[in-house]
Amino acid sequence: MTGSIPLAVFEGAAIFDGDRLHATSALVVEDGRVVGIVPTDEAPRGERVLLAGGTLAPGFIDLQVNGGGGILLNDAPTLEGIRTICAAHARLGTLGLLPTLITDTAQVTGAAIEAGLAAARDRVPGFLGLHLEGPHLDPRRKGAHDPDLIRPMTAADLARLCDAARRLPALLVTVAPEAADPQQIAALAAAGAIVSLGHSDASAAAAAASFAAGARLVTHLFNAMSQLGSREPGLVGAALDAAGVRAGLIADGVHVAPLTMRVALAAKAGADPVFLVTDAMAVAGTDATSFELNGRTIHRRDGRLTLADGTLAGADIDMPGALRVLTRDVGLTLPQALRLATLAPALALGQAGLGRLAPGSAADLVHLDADLALTGVWRGGLPGVRFSGQ
C-alpha cells in the first residue's frame, strides 16, 4: 500500500474519537493524519468517503494476540511470522497489536525477541511490540501452557528480558509472583518492560507486593488465576482493588460470564482500568477447525478453542464480536465498549497518542455497521480492507 490521500472527508457515520461519539460530523484526514472532526456542513472540500450509517472509530488495539492467519508466533517466531499475524488481524479491524509468545523454550523466546526487533526495524504495519506470556508462571494455573516448559525466572532470563525491553518499541511480560520475585519485577519495570501478573495462584498479599514492585497489568482477568474468595481475595481481588492496575479482559462470553464482567467493570470503573484482549490463536482470520499447540491438538467448535480435555486454549473471537458481547450481554453503551478496544489498551501500553481520532493522530480507522459488523478498514487514511457496501 503506497501513496497517500492529500485530503479526504469521511462522512455518513457517527464518529467515535476514542472517548465519545460525534453525530452529524465528518472526519477530515490529510496525508494519513487526522485533521479534525467537524460538523458535516462545515467540512472542507476533498475526496468524499461516504459511509452508510454505523460508526467510524479508531482501529482496534490488542495486547494479546498469540497468532492469526494460520500460524502461531510460537511456531513462526520470525519476521515473516509477525508480518503474517499483523496482516491477518488488520483484516479483522485490529491495526495495532502485540504478537504474543506463550510459554516456550529459551531458544524460541530468543528467536521471538529477535523477530520483534526485526519487525520494529522494518516498521511492520500494526506491530507495536511483543508480549511474552510465560514461561515464568505457576504450573498450578498453567491453563493451556505446557507445564514442562514453565520455570522460575533466572538471572540470565532477567538480563535477556531487560535488554529486550530497552530495545523493543514495547515489551509486555506476563509473570506469576511465584516465579518472579519483587526484585526481578522491579528490575524489569526499571528497564521499561510492562509487567503483567497472570497464570498465578498468588495470594492477594503476594499480588500486592508485585504491584508495589512495578507490575501494573493483569493478564486475562479471572482466567488462570486465584479467584476472589471470602477469606482470601486472591489475584482477582487484588487486581480489582489496586489503584492504577489495569486488566485485560476476554469478552467472548465463554472465558468470563457477562455478569462477572459487569461486576469487574463496576469495581474498576474510571481511568480506563479494563481493556479488551482477544487472546487470538492461529485460526483467527481463517476457517480452520483445529491447530497444534506444543504437540497437542486444539479444537475449534461452538465459539471455543479447547484441548481434548476441555481446557480453554485461547479464544475464538475478534474485536467486533467482543463489542457485540459487551453491548448486548453486559449492558455497556457503544462508546463505553469501543473505548475498551481502542483508547483503553493504548493507555495500558503507555501510548496515549494511539486509539483515538484527534488532530495529528494516525488515520487508522474501522467502520462498523449498526449490528457492529466490520465493513471497512483504513490505515493512514488509505483503504486496507474494503467490504461489500463500501
Catalytic annotation, pick one of 279, 316, 318, 364: 279
Instruction: Count CB atoms within 10 A of the CB of residue 5.
Output: 18
Rounded to 5°, the CA angle 9-346-357 comes to 15
Instruction: Count CB atoms within 10 A of the CB of residue 293.
Output: 22
- Distant-in-sequence, close-in-space partners of 336: CB < 8 Å, separation ≥ 6: 326
* 298: its cell numbers: 486444539
- Distant-in-sequence, close-in-space partners of 355: CB < 8 Å, separation ≥ 6: 18, 58, 61, 96, 342, 343, 344, 345, 346, 347
The answer to whether the CB of 96 falls within 8 A of the CB of 132 is: no
Judged by DSSP in three states, 248 sits in strand
* Residue 328: DSSP 8-state: I
The answer to whether the CB of 222 falls within 8 A of the CB of 256 is: yes
Cα–Cα distance for residue pair 29/382, rounded to 1 Å:
10
Cα–Cα distance for residue pair 298/305, rounded to 1 Å:
6
- Distant-in-sequence, close-in-space partners of 123: CB < 8 Å, separation ≥ 6: none
Rounded to a whole number of angstroms, the CA Rg of the chain reads 20
* 52: its cell numbers: 452508510
Q: Where are the beta strands (DSSP E) in 225-273?
A: 246-249
Q: Given the DSSP bridges, would you call strands 304-306 and 312-315 parallel, antiparallel or unpaired?
A: antiparallel
Rounded to 5°, the CA angle 236-238-242 comes to 125
List, in sequence order, the alpha helices (H) in 12-105.
79-90
Judged by DSSP in three states, 100 sits in strand
Q: Is 138 a catalytic residue?
A: no
- Distant-in-sequence, close-in-space partners of 209: CB < 8 Å, separation ≥ 6: 177, 182
Residue 39 burial class via C-beta count within 10 angstroms: exposed 0-12, middle 13-18, buried 19 and up: exposed
Residues belonging to the active site: 279
